[in-house]
Every structure is written in structure tokens, then in C-alpha cells.
Amino acid sequence: QPHLSRPIFDVRLSALTRLLSTLAVLEQRDGKLSSASLSAIAAAQKLGGSVTGFVAGDGVKSSAAVEAAKIKGLEKVVAVENAAYEKGLPENYAPLLVDNIKSGGYTHVIAGHSAFGKGLLPRVAALLDVQQISDITAIENEDTFVRPIYAGNAILTVQSEDPIKVITVRGTAFQGVETEGGSAEIVDGVDPKAESITEWVSEDLAKSDRPDLATASRVVSGGRGLKSKEEFDRVMIPLADALGAAIGASRAAVDSGYADNSLQVGQTGKNVAPQLYLAAGISGAIQHLAGMKDSKVIAAINKDPEAPIFQVADVGLVGDLFEKVPELTEKLKK
Ligand code: FAD
């Protein structure tokens, strides 16, 4: 990729910014926008140019679309009311999105890198015959994007010459959308009402009163060092309560049945970047670090002073977690 000197680049960018028009695909559940939707908008705003929101599902014009219209910086919100799109099934949603992208003439299509975005956008890219650009963490300019590869061990800069860029964005890298103060117009999108052989049957969701792991400002995670599910709950839950934190876990803890699948942090789990991430009994394998190393403050408790987690930790405590965590919990309660 040739290096462009600043002045030429600025002229080129400002000329193109006027032509940029981005569709931010908004994910909703029961009429409420997800945090991944806000990240999609944040990334779209970073690109510059006009930003349109897109939302589809049952009764969205009086719920999620209204919420989206209040977001600052959205020019309009395209809404399609049809229960067939309520659960965001990619088989139904992809043809819908493609028709709306074509009718709106967008240069960029952006969604969060959530299960919804990961399932949907590669299909959309294939239907548009362009490449999918996944899980970006930075935007260099309108056709150049940065994404981590090999579990975050290398950073790739990709440039796309496709006429439409189809992109998913990492939530922790794009934040800070103002959810009040906007007054975007809500307009009807096109609905191809395509026949689909896929139908929503049911879902089984893990319910929790705790803060959502992906967006919590504090996360306490336990690893294989917790030894059993009983000990995991006995030691980690009071600590999480004392801090008002979400609970996370390493893959070893999840695989051993100490914690639910939905709590896994890392390359094949969730990406988190809270203000505070406290890891207890976690060694700090690269696949775990890939999901939490962008946290603002990392604290680690481990009995092994050589544990790799200490290389990324801002604060480390070498000791037995069964002694140290309850002690810390008691001090926090005071
Ligand atoms: P261990 O590595 O066994 O570490 C346990 C730690 O607890 C040790 O450091 C030990 O010193 C400490 N300890 C033990 N007892 C005590 C005590 N009493 N007090 C204090 N400390 C104690 N892992 C993830 O976490 N997330 C992922 O998303 C993920 N994805 C993966 C994807 C792939 C393709 C692969 C190959 C692996 C992936 N892994 C992932 C697994 C990863 O490589 C590690 O195996 C895993 O993270 C280890 O979990 P752990 O740190 O809990 O366990």
C-alpha cells in the first residue's frame, strides 16, 4: 500500500467524504437496540459522510426505529416491519438487506461483530459479490481498515477496492454514540418478502441479573484455578457482588463446567474492554488475552509468579486465590 503524504490524503479524503453514504445495520431484540448496533453507528460516524440506520422486525416503527431516530448523527432510519425479520435469521434477513442496500446506493454497510452481524454480513457480501471485511478495530480511511488476526497477535491492514464495503466492527473499539438529541426521519424500507425455508423455532437464553459481560464496566473472571463449579460460585459471586461486576471465565473453566458457555472471554468467547478486569486463577493464554487485553486496568491473582497473565496485568497479586479473593471481597464490602 503506497504511503500518501498528509496534504494529498486530506484533499482526497474530504472530496470522498461527501460521497460516502453508510448504512448501519441495527440489531434489535424485543424492540430495543443492542450495544452492537451502537458500535456500528459509532464506526459509521467515524467514516464520515451520511449515516442511515436500518432496522427490521415486528413493530419496529414504534420501538427500535424510534430509539434509533434519537441517536445523534443519523440522517434517517430505514425501517421494515415484518415479523419474519424479528429474530434476525440471516437466511431471511440477507435478501432484505441486499434490496435495501441496492435501493439506497450505499458505499458502506456496517454491523456489529455480534452473532447477528457475523451470520448476516458475509451472506450479504456474497450476494453483492464483494468481499467481507470482518471484526475491524480501526478505520484508516474510507477503503482501508485495521483488524486483529491470529487471536490478536498480529494486526492486519486491509484495503478494499470493492464498490460497496461490507464490514463488521469490534464493539470494544467503537463506542461513544450519543443516544439522545437526534431527530432522524423514519422511512419505510423495501421488503422483498422473499420465501425462506428457515423458520424460528425457539431459543434458550441464559438469564442473569448481573451487568452484561460484553458491556460491563467491571468484570471478574475465574479460571481453572477455581477447581470446581461450587468453588467458582462460592469465591467469584461475592466478589462480583461487592464490585457490581459481571462474571467472566476462561475456556478451561467453561469446558470443565465451572461456568456457563456465555461467560467465556477470549478468542472463541466474548471480547471485553471494561474499566477493570480482574482475573483469578487464569494463566493468561494468548487465546484468553485476545478477549480482554484492551481492558483499562487489568488485575490478576495467581499463585504462580511466572504466569503469563502478569505480563499484561497492571496490578498483580501472587497468592492462593481461595485466601486472597475472599479477603479482597471483605475489604471491598467495607
Ligand atoms: P490454566 O492454563 O490451567 O491456568 C490455571 C491458572 O490458575 C494457573 O496459572 C495456576 O497457576 C492458577 N492457579 C491454580 N490454583 C490456584 C490458586 N489456588 N490460587 C491462585 N491461582 C491458582 N481460552 C480462553 O480463556 N478463551 C478463549 O476464547 C479460548 N479460545 C481458544 C481457542 C483455541 C483455538 C484454542 C486452541 C484455545 C483456546 N483457549 C481459550 C484455551 C487457552 O489456550 C487456555 O487453555 C485457557 O485459557 C486456559 O484457561 P485457564 O487459564 O483457566 O487454565
Question: Is the beta carbon of 271 within 6 A of some atom in ligand 1?
Answer: no
pLDDT in tens, the chain (334 residues): 444 444 444 445 545 555 899 999 999 999 999 999 999 999 999 999 999 999 999 999 999 999 999 999 999 999 999 999 999 999 999 999 999 999 999 999 999 999 999 999 999 999 999 999 999 999 999 999 999 998 888 999 999 999 999 999 999 899 889 999 999 999 999 999 888 888 899 988 878 889 989 889 999 999 999 999 999 999 999 999 999 999 999 999 999 999 999 999 999 999 999 999 999 999 999 999 999 999 999 999 999 999 999 999 999 999 999 999 999 999 999 9
Beta strands in 207-249 (DSSP E): 218-222, 246-249
Q: Is 282 in the pocket of ligand 1 (CB under 6 A)?
A: yes
Separation between Cα atoms, residue 94 and residue 25, nearest integer Å: 11
DSSP 8-state secondary structure symbol assigned to residue 115: H
CB distance 308 to ligand 1 below 6 Å: no
Instruction: Name the packing angle between helices 321-333 and 229-243 (round to 10°).
Output: 30
Distance of alpha carbon 55 from alpha carbon 86, whole angstroms: 10
Sort strands 154-159 and 144-149 into parallel, antiparallel or unpaired: antiparallel
Helix extents (H) in 60-89: 64-69
Q: Is 175 annotated as a binding residue?
A: no
DSSP state of 30: T
Q: What are phi and psi of 145, to 5 degrees?
A: -135, 155
Separation CA 237–CA 254 (nearest Å): 15
The response to whether 265 counts as a known ligand-binding position is yes
Give 239 Cα–ligand 1 centroid separation in angstroms: 20
Q: Ligand 1 centre and the CA of 285: distance in Å?
A: 6
Does the beta carbon of 288 lie inside 6 Å of ligand 1? Answer: yes
Q: How far apart are CA 27 and CA 56, in angstroms?
A: 8
Pairing of β 276-280 and β 218-222: parallel
State whether the beta carbon of 269 lies less than 6 angstroms from ligand 1: yes
Is 24 in contact with 71 (CB distance < 8 Å)?
Answer: no
Nearest to 199 by CA among 61, 105, 89: 89
